[in-house]
Amino acid sequence: MKKKSFLERLTGNIRVDEDELEDDFYEEGNAKKTSRSNGESKSIEVNKEEPWEEETDAELTVDLYQTPTDIIVQTMVAGVQPDNLSITITRDMVTIKGKREENQSIEKDNYFVRELYWGSFSRTISLPEEVDPEEAEAVEKHGLLIIKLPKLDKNRETKLKIKSI
């Protein structure tokens, strides 16, 4: 038996030479069986623990465009109650979070097709220019959320009065 490499010890994987294995393999229970070219078969333990990824929110689709004075974000939030929607704005970023709650009155056995997304969603968008978060506006109409973000005018000048103390 060969000594395990550092990577094999770290990850728990084992090395299998490709020339010893044929292309066909199949899973049976928790073991993965592979056929060797000499007719032997070897079982390799497959770990079927919980997935390593955390359950994450679905990513919201958006349109992002600009006018001469504003940056506009549009997204569909049909079926989301206003209480289940949150918009956070900084000078260079917008985060939209929400939750679309499923109608629980229909039993799962009565569905023929289920394609709609139900659950939490979020999207963080880095903006191409700085905006004024205090002047931002959000409007929802027929399921379309429109966020209007006024651009900061970096060329704007103001005269400052000097006070004498």
Q: Tens of pLDDT along 14-24?
A: 666 555 554 44
Nearest partner of 145 among 73, 94, 70, judged by Cα: 73
State the average pLDDT over residues 92-103: 89
State the average pLDDT over residues 56-72: 90
Say whether pLDDT at 5 is over 50: yes
Nearest partner of 124 among 52, 57, 55, judged by Cα: 57
Looking at residue 12, its amino acid is G
| Burial environment of residue 79 by CB neighbours within 10 A (0 to 12, 13 to 18, 19 or more) | middle
State the average pLDDT over residues 35-55: 52
DSSP state of 71: E
Higher-pLDDT residue of 54 and 154 is 154
Instruction: Say how far apart CA 85 and CA 76 lie, in whole Å.
Output: 12
Say whether pLDDT at 155 is over 50: yes
Say whether pLDDT at 122 is over 70: yes
What are the structural domain ranges in the chain?
6-45, 58-104+113-150
Instruction: Say how far apart CA 14 and CA 35 lie, in whole Å.
Output: 16
Q: Domain 58-104+113-150 maps to which CATH number in 1.20.1250.20, 2.60.40.790, 1.10.3720.10, 4.10.640.10?
A: 2.60.40.790
Average per-residue pLDDT for the chain: 77
pLDDT at 62: 93
pTM score, whole prediction: 0.59
| β 119-126/58-59 pair status | parallel
Higher-pLDDT residue of 119 and 25 is 119
The CA dihedral of 57, 59, 62, 65, to the nearest 10 degrees, is 100
